[in-house]
Structure 1
Amino acid sequence: MKYVVMIIDGASGWPVEALGNRTSLEAAATPNLDQMARRAMVGMTATVPAGMEPSSACACMSVLGYDPRVYYKGRAAIEARSLDIPIAADETVFRANLVTVDNGMMRDYSAGHIDSNESAALIRFLNEKLETPDLKLFPGVGYRHILKLKGRPESLKAVCTPPHDIPDQPIEAHLPKGEGSDLLRSIMAASAELLKDHPINLDRIARGELPATQLWLFWGSGPLPKMPSFKERYGIGAAITSGVDLLRGLGQMQGMDVMCIDGVTDNIDNDYAGQMEEALKALDIYDMAVVHVEAPDEAGHSGNAEEKVKAIELIDRDMVGRLRDFKGDKLRVLIMPDHPTPLNIRTHAAEMVPFMIWGSGVRTTGARRFTENEAKGTKLVVAEAHNIMSMVVRG
């Protein structure tokens, strides 16, 4: 038996007027997903344990078969793992977004989805100005970067807000606060002063693009916890492909190999067909391929209904269609979002999501489409999503 796990990041959501009071999954034309759903086990599940943040870190850890209540100790360290950034016992790390703040308002959590080349150049510049033996910035993917601090454990007590939670809102009330926040606020303020007249930002403004006006720090964590490998836990070898550091880091934590595939990005321009083709080729070597697609989540954070639907339709056409046509060994597939990213609120919601298990030996639960309402209609509920991986692998 071979296995594919496909995480359609943030694809679930709420009905919106722009889509005829339908969700993005309902509005999208998804003939491949729908045909699979009619022959699949479809239901609802909770990927985020009660009281935990509805982040992709918690949710994707659940999808991959690990209980976040046991193994989740903070997101930044997972992303640092993907970037091969070591974290000593006396060190802490934070996600450092490049954002656009305009007149005290959070204009854009991603600085207009600044590309990795421009973004890395800005991070190198900030490092030249801010780096000390106890402070260093590391470039990541796109707008996402890492700050590492040494000997400042109190910084983890600061209350920080992800910038995608406050679109078009004043930032003052959402700056880091409480014990340990002074250093974080000072770094953010210094970055704003340094970046305001940077040539890259001036060029971006001239091109009609948003400038990266400052760093925004959040999702702090210390060193990673030790967790059993995926092979130890489920008895099969796996590889993972994603356009973001988080998923690559999660895979590495679980002993998965990371597939480096040209054209895999964190947005709508992803090479969907190429990503799935290479993932299926990997089944010649591995028992399981994990395929993570970020584009629907990014569209959700941007509040772009048209682009979210388009991303789901491209996934259905160029990825799910290839799964249906797979020739070779018996195949079992898990497809699901990690969390909802409703267009209405432009951030994550701690709610159940639909899931679908399709393929060899799987019983149908009577769904007609892969949507939230169809999944609810089957009455199948898996209370804790980290148990679904056993259902997939062990039947």
Structure 2
Amino acid sequence: MKYVVLIIDGASGWPAEGLGGKTSLEAAKTPNLDQMARRATVGLAGTVPVGMEPSSACACMSVLGYNPKVFYKGRAAIEARSLEIPIAADETVFRANLVTIENGRMADYSAGHIGSNESAELIRFLDEKLGTPELSLHPGVGYRHILKLKGRPETLKAACTPPHDIPGQPVEDYLPRGEGSDILRNIMAASAELLKDHPVNRDRIARGEKPATSLWLFWGSGQLPNMPSFKDRYGLSAAITSGVDLLRGLGQMQGMDVLCIQGVTDNADNDYAFQMEQALGALETYDMVVVHVEAPDEAGHAGDAEGKVKAIEMIDRDMVGRLREYSRDKLRALIMPDHPTPLKIRTHAAEPVPFMIWGSGVRTSGARRFTEADAKGTGVTVAEAHNIMSMVVRG
């Protein structure tokens, strides 16, 4: 038996006025997902434990079969693991987004989805200007980067707000606050001064693109937890493909190999077809391949109803369609979002999401489509989504 896990990041959501009162999954034309749903176990799963942040870190950890209440110690360290940034016992790390702040408001949490090449140039520049033996900046993917601090454990007590939670809001109300926040605020302020006239930003403005006006620090964490490997836990060799550091880091923490596939990105320009083609090809080597797609989540954060629906439709056509072509008798697949990203609030919610287990030996639960309503209608619920992986692997 071979296994595929397809995580459609942020695809779930709420009914939206711009979609005629439908959710993005309901509005999207998804013939492949819907055909599979009719022959699958479909239900609702709680991916975010009560009281925990509705982040992809918690939610994807659940999808991959690990209880966040036990293993989640902070997101930045997971991303640092993907970038092979070591974290000593006296060091802390923070996610450092490049953002666009205009007239004191959060204009764009991703600096116009700045590309990795331009953003790496900016991060190296900031590290040159701000870096010390106790402070270093490390480029990641797109707008997402890492700040590492030595000897400042109090910074982990600072209350920080993700920039994608505050679109259009006055940033002064959401700067780091409380114990340990001063150093974070100072770094952010210094970055804003340094980035004002950088050539990369001048070029972006000339092209009509949003400049990266500041670093925004959040999701601080310390060292990684010790996690049992996926092989030890489930008896399967596994690999993962994703356009974001977080998922690659999670996979590495679980002993998965990372598939480096050309054209895999963190946005709508992702090569969906090639990503799934290469993932299915990797099943010749691995028992399981995890395929993570970020585009629906990014569209949700942008409040882009059309873009989110289109991303879901592209995934259905170019990824799920290929998955259906793989022999159903030799494959079992888990397909689900990690969390909702409702268009109305443009950030994550902690509500249950639809899931589907399809393939060899799987019972049908009566769903007609892969939507929130159909999933709820089956009456199948998994309160803690980290238990789903056992359902997939052990039947």
Partner of 1:175: 175
CA distance, structure 1, for counterparts of residue 328 and residue 165 of structure 2: 44
Partner of 2:355: 355
Q: Which runs of 5 or more structure 1 residues have no equivalent in the other structure?
A: none
Q: What does the per-residue CA deviation read over 1:246-287, in whole Å, with 9 as the maximum and x for residues that have no partner?
A: 000000000000000000000000000000000000000000
CA distance, structure 1, for counterparts of residue 37 and residue 63 of structure 2: 19
CA distance, structure 2, for counterparts of residue 20 and residue 328 of structure 1: 35
CA distance, structure 2, for counterparts of residue 103 and residue 126 of structure 1: 22
Counterpart AA for 1:26: E
Q: How does 1:84-163 map to 2 (within 5 A)?
A: 84-163=84-163
CA distance, structure 1, for counterparts of residue 333 and residue 206 of structure 2: 47
* Aligned alpha-carbon RMSD (Å): 0.6
Q: What does the per-residue CA deviation read over 1:345-374, in whole Å, with 9 as the maximum and x for residues that have no partner?
A: 000001000000000000000000000000
Q: Per the alignment, in what secondary structure is the counterpart of residue 284 of structure 2?
A: coil
CA distance, structure 2, for counterparts of residue 258 and residue 283 of structure 1: 13
Give the drift of 1:327. 3.6
Q: Which runs of 5 or more structure 2 residues have no equivalent in the other structure?
A: none
Q: What does the per-residue CA deviation read over 1:155-188, in whole Å, with 9 as the maximum and x for residues that have no partner?
A: 0000000000000000011000000000000000
Q: What does the per-residue CA deviation read over 1:292-343, in whole Å, with 9 as the maximum and x for residues that have no partner?
A: 0000000000000000000000000000000100148610000000000000
Contact 2:328 / 2:359 at 8 angstroms: preserved in 1?
no
CA distance, structure 2, for counterparts of residue 85 and residue 373 of structure 1: 42
Partner of 2:74: 74
Contact 1:2 / 1:329 at 8 angstroms: preserved in 2?
no
Q: How does 1:38-57 map to 2 (within 5 A)?
A: 38-57=38-57
Q: Per the alignment, in what secondary structure is the counterpart of residue 250 of structure 2?
A: helix
Contact 1:243 / 1:266 at 8 angstroms: preserved in 2?
yes
Give the drift of 1:107. 0.2
Following TM superposition, where does structure 1 have runs of at least 4 consecutive aligned residues deviating by more than 4 angstroms?
Answer: none
Contact 1:46 / 1:382 at 8 angstroms: preserved in 2?
yes
Partner of 1:320: 320
CA distance, structure 2, for counterparts of residue 290 and residue 357 of structure 1: 14
Q: Per the alignment, in what secondary structure is the counterpart of residue 318 of structure 2?
A: helix
How many residues align structurally?
A: 395
Contact 1:238 / 1:288 at 8 angstroms: preserved in 2?
yes
Counterpart AA for 1:117: N
Counterpart AA for 2:110: S
CA distance, structure 1, for counterparts of residue 289 and residue 350 of structure 2: 27
Q: Per the alignment, in what secondary structure is the counterpart of residue 85 of structure 2?
A: coil
Partner of 2:260: 260
Partner of 2:28: 28
Partner of 1:270: 270
CA distance, structure 1, for counterparts of residue 29 and residue 372 of structure 2: 15
